[in-house]
Structure 1
Amino acid sequence: MSLQAAIENRLSEGFNPSVLQVENESHQHAVPANSETHFRVVMASEAFEGKRRIARHQAVYGALSEEMNNGIHALTLHLYTPEEWQNSESGAPQSPPCMGGSKAG
């Protein structure tokens, strides 16, 4: 099973989301072809009701602890309640382009 599929399965089972998008963004980074190291997750779940952003993130990191220790280098999370998702005008923001490890600034 791919790491992306494992993430999708674990989040589906743990959060019963009404919206779940898991995108492998590894190709946008300086990693070998077909890598599974950088992911973007957009999820809406009733499990996030009444929880602040940090608690939502902690819940997802906890659910993905095995995957975090076995291959995930970067995980971008956009976590919503179903109502928040419904009220979002443009959905979750896109990930910024990779800077390629440059020290520009």
Structure 2
Amino acid sequence: MSYFVYILSNPARTVLYIGVTNDLERRLHEHGQGLGDAGKFTGRYQCNLLVYFEISPDAVQAIAREKQLKNWSRTKKEWLVGTLNPRWEPIDPRTWQG
């Protein structure tokens, strides 16, 4: 099973949310519907655009990476997003060509 570390942003690209999941499409739907504790944050800040994700082979590595990214500066997070998605366009994981 694969795990995903992902970054969401709002339409103005002023807020970043970092999360981890084993089902990216389901989790994006949950964020969009404001479900769960994370949905409170992402709903409040309209943070539902996927701008970055990476795949991890197991949960332990994914959680460690999530914690690492959460400790990064905003500038470093912006750099990371730019490496995969230079225009910060919303990513549809079903059609993403990378």
The TM-score with structure 1 as length reference comes to 0.30
- Find the structure with the greater CA-based Rg: 1
The TM-score with structure 2 as length reference comes to 0.31
Report which structure shows greater RCO (CA 8 Å, sep ≥6). 2
